Amino acid sequence: MITDRPFIFYTLPKSRTTQQLNGGRKIEKAWNNVCNFLTNCTTTKPNQPTRISLTAYTAFQGDPNPEIAVKIIQETKLLFDSGQTEPVSYAYPSGIPDKQTKTEWDIETNDLQKGIDYLVKGQPWPKFTFGPIELFITFYFNLIDPITKTEFPNQNNKSSLMIWLSRNCVCSPDLYFPFEQADENFKQTIKNLEPFLPFKFEEKYLRLGRPNKAKTQYTFTKIIMD
């Protein structure tokens, strides 16, 4: 749905799909930072994700000690269930499946903490080309002012935060701010939110979104912060 109001949007470019979570070398630190942000700055809570999935990979060609990746998959199956196993990719143009596989589990909300505890306990996870295991969690929400504890008005678009907890924890944020320009009110809002953000805020990823004349799509322009 295209709205009439302009808004300010924080999102990563196509050339950079994720950014490091603060404390991302330690899963428990990264997750605590995410929880702190969700609790203080959003309408959702850490135990209210939209989607949770867990993925474990076999070793890529040339990765050392491929038996370790197999063992991780077996241990994960014992903790959850058999999951869904399929090739990571297919050769082009033959369509022949690659030898490397991934096993995926859809995790129920009430098993979220079990998944996090499993990843924390398994640290440090070995280095493989993929994985070897990652927990993917998605949240959708409206933003809350952490000072007044009230929801910002006129949030016609949901913000989101996708996180990957793994050997190196990263995220992909899409934050909609209901401001029509980068005025002093907006700058103060960013100042208030920034201590709670679980990632490094980079002003260069801010864009001003406006509906086109036909109201069929948005046009985005870069914002320059003084």
Distance CA 27, CA 166 (A): 7
Domain boundaries, the chain: 17-174
Q: One digit per residue, pLDDT tens: the chain, 226 residues?
A: 677 788 999 999 988 999 999 998 999 999 999 999 999 999 999 999 999 999 999 999 889 999 999 999 999 999 999 999 999 876 555 556 678 899 999 999 999 999 999 999 999 999 999 999 999 999 999 999 999 999 999 998 899 999 999 999 999 999 999 999 999 999 999 999 999 999 999 999 999 998 887 778 888 898 877 7
Contact 135, 127 (CB under 8 A): no
Q: What sign does the dihedral 8-14-16-19 (CA atoms) show?
A: positive
Of 202, 193, 201, the C-alpha closest to 37 is 193
pTM for the predicted model, two decimal places: 0.92
d(CA 27, CA 169): 7
Nearest by Cα to 143 from 177, 187, 110, 112:
177
Q: Which residue has the tokens 């297919």?
A: 90
Residue 87's Cβ-count burial label (10 Å; 0-12, 13-18, 19+) is: middle
